[in-house]
Structure 1
Amino acid sequence: MRYDEFIKTVSERDGHDDREIAVQTTEVVLADLGQRLKGGEADNLAAQLPEELKGPLTEHAATEPVVDDVDDFLRRVATHLGAGVDPEQARHHVAAVFATLSEAVSEGEIQNLRSQLPAGFGPLFK
Structure 2
Amino acid sequence: MKHDEFVGEVQHRLELASRGEAIRATRAVLTTLGERLQADEAADLAGPLPMEIDRFLHEADSGQIFDYQEFVERVSQRARVEEADAAFYGQAVMDVVEDCVPDTELDDVTAQLPDDYDELFELIGSEDYY
Output the TM-score relative to the length of structure 2.
0.86
AA partner of residue 27 (structure 2): E
Instruction: Rate the CA distance shift 1:64–1:5 in 2: closer, same or farther, 3 A.
Output: closer
AA partner of residue 99 (structure 1): D
Backbone CA RMSD of aligned residues: 1.4
Equivalent position of 2:98 in the other structure: 102
AA partner of residue 100 (structure 2): A
1 CA distance for matches of 2:16 and 2:37? 29
1:1-126 map, 5 Å? 1-60=1-60, 63=61, 65-82=63-80, 85-125=81-121, 126=123
1:124 positional shift: 2.3
| Number of equivalences | 122
1:123 positional shift: 2.9
User: Which ranges of structure 1 fall in alignment gaps of 5 or more residues?
Assistant: none
1:113 positional shift: 0.8
In the alignment, is the contact (CA less than 8 A) between 1:99 and 1:124 conserved in 2?
no
4+ residue runs over 4 A deviation: none
Equivalent position of 2:126 in the other structure: none
Helix, strand or coil for the counterpart of 2:16?
Answer: coil
Output the TM-score relative to the length of structure 1.
0.89
In the alignment, is the contact (CA less than 8 A) between 2:6 and 2:96 conserved in 1?
yes
